[in-house]
Amino acid sequence: MELSPSWDLVKYKNNVYVVDSLGAGDFKDFKEFFNCYGESIENISVLVRPGVYAGRYIFINANIDIVGDCSIEINPITKAIDKDPTVIFANTFLVPTAIKITSSTAHSTFFFDDSVVSLKRISVYGKLDDLSCLAIACKRTVINLLECSFVSYNSESIVCSESSKLYCKRCRSVGGFHGVEINKSHARLTDCFFSEKEGKGIQVRDESEMISLKHCTITKCKQQGLVSYNGTKKVKVIDSHFKGNCLKEWGMGSIHSSGKCRVLVKNTLVQNSDSIGIVIGGGSGNFDNVLIENCFTGMIVGANVDISECIINGCSHIGIQIIKVIKGAVVLENNSITKCPIEIARSDDAPIPTLRGDKKHAIITIPSIDSKNENIYKEMRKARREGSIDARYCDHCGKTLLELQHESKTLKTCDNCKMVLYCSPECQQKAWKLHEPHCEMFAKTKLAAIEKQAIQTNLERTNKNKKSNFNKTEENYGIL
């Protein structure tokens, strides 16, 4: 043990335990070690040899050093680790999977409370049948992750809460629900990769101080790539790539911010969102040299923003949609909006954008739904769910079927999609420019639903016939 290159880094030299992959030390794996000591660990150093199976659950909230055979930063004067408490858990191999930690039914594979933590080149694997396990959860902790990998099918990779600080570099998270969730905390992510999330790539909420992304890639998340809300103060995204997020989730942005948040997005690419590229619904924002392409809508802006040198290309609905802004202005400078049916649309209660530079854009104004009408629509939707009234209404003017009946009128569906209602050809014509991008998609959705229902009906009929034939067979053999 004394020949190990980590021996001089051990803090508690009088109380050292060895976890050895060959079983030659005090414990053959982490599971055996933690089964022995549990949560009563205090002032212990654990020397980890490469290749160890780490077990399914590690709970750490004491003064404990977990030191691998690796190089770490130490105090140049004392030649020791002098921050208390400190957890060091590292893997010396270049291959990140050399030490594997497989989560099982515990709430968290790692849980850190009031600690300073460093994990280096560690891989955490979730299981298909594990619905709740997190890879890492921490409270009031400073945690540094370097070249770590998280593959978890039904869980979140990292959850930081209660004034924690997360510094994550060259890490990857594939599968699971959210990649990172930040609650009342601070996070900086550099050169990280998040993919194939059932939820969001990164979620920031509950008055978190800041989230910073640099050289990160977030792709194939069913919901937002990055979302901040509930009092998040600052979002910073630089030199990053968002691709193929918001899968079939409408009203969401691949980058989505709300509340009084300050947002900076620079030198970033947002592609192939089934919904919206970027949504900023409050606070303020600066967007510089951002490329948004092949989304449904490029940007939805409801905040004091400055958008400059950005390219929005190939969006199937609107390039930039401006909604009501509580305070401030919308400034557009030298942006390029191409191959979008509508370049810029603003609701009639939204500010007229200030255009700077040589590039000019066509701006159309669309009617907004004021609070009174919104309350009416809420009541109509509630009544429709309860089945108390026929709450159908014209998609353009908003008149209900009951109102139209007093005018000897009725509602008719769009001939193509069969899903949107109008009270007259005039209303349909006025609404066409906004409805056209949706129409074909609605038509395909309706057809798919009909086909699915037909398959389900045939399947039920087949199962019923099989059951009937089985019962007849049992009667013939005298079983029943």
Q: Which of 212-226, 252-266, 365-379 is predicted least confidently?
A: 365-379
Higher pLDDT, 213 or 316: 213
Mean pLDDT of 376-398: 61
Give the span between the Cα atoms of 42 and 185, in whole angstroms: 27
Would you say the C-alpha torsion 453, 456, 460, 465 has a positive or negative sign? positive
How would you classify the pairing of strands 180-183 and 318-322?
Answer: unpaired
- Selection from 94-98, 153-157, 443-447 with the highest mean pLDDT: 153-157
Mean pLDDT of 173-178: 88
> Could you read off the pLDDT of 113-136 as tens digits, one per residue?
777 777 777 777 665 455 456 778
Distances in Å between the alpha carbon of 47 and those of 20, 121, 164, 421?
A: 8, 16, 26, 70
Q: Which long-range contacts (CB under 8 A, 24 or more apart) does 29-32 make?
A: 29/53, 29/54, 29/55, 30/54, 30/55, 30/58, 31/55, 31/56
Q: Is the pLDDT of residue 66 over 90?
A: no
Higher pLDDT, 186 or 130: 186
Mean pLDDT of 400-423: 78
The pLDDT score that the predictor gives to residue 262 is 94
The pLDDT score that the predictor gives to residue 119 is 78
The pLDDT score that the predictor gives to residue 394 is 80
Total-model pTM: 0.66
In the structure, what pLDDT confidence band is assigned to residue 41 with cuts at 50, 70 and 90? low
Mean pLDDT of 127-152: 75
The pLDDT score that the predictor gives to residue 295 is 92
In the structure, what pLDDT confidence band is assigned to residue 164 with cuts at 50, 70 and 90? very high
> Could you read off the pLDDT of 275-329 as tens digits, one per residue?
899 999 889 999 999 999 999 899 999 999 999 999 999 998 899 999 888 778 9
The pLDDT score that the predictor gives to residue 365 is 83
In the structure, what pLDDT confidence band is assigned to residue 404 with cuts at 50, 70 and 90? confident
Q: Are 150 and 157 in contact (CB under 8 A)?
A: yes
In the structure, what pLDDT confidence band is assigned to residue 140 with cuts at 50, 70 and 90? confident
Q: Is the pLDDT of residue 37 over 70?
A: no
Would you say the C-alpha torsion 145, 148, 149, 153 has a positive or negative sign? negative
Q: Are 335 and 359 in contact (CB under 8 A)?
A: yes
Q: Is the pLDDT of residue 340 over 70?
A: yes
Q: Are 175 and 149 in contact (CB under 8 A)?
A: no
The pLDDT score that the predictor gives to residue 306 is 96
Which residue, 86, 144, 149, 158, is CA-closest to 121?
149
Question: What's at 4, amino acid-wise?
Answer: S
Mean pLDDT of 249-261: 83
Average per-residue pLDDT in the chain?
A: 76
Written as six digits, the tokens of 70 are 């690796």
Q: Which of 176-185, 239-248, 265-274, 375-384 is predicted least confidently?
A: 375-384
The pLDDT score that the predictor gives to residue 432 is 84
Q: Is 252 exposed, middle or buried (0-12, 13-18, 19+ CB in 10 A)?
A: buried
Q: Are 46 and 64 in contact (CB under 8 A)?
A: yes
Mean pLDDT of 393-411: 75
Q: Is the pLDDT of residue 241 over 90?
A: yes
Q: Are 17 and 25 in contact (CB under 8 A)?
A: yes
Higher pLDDT, 155 or 53: 155
Neighbours of 225 (CB within 10 A): 33
Mean pLDDT of 413-442: 80
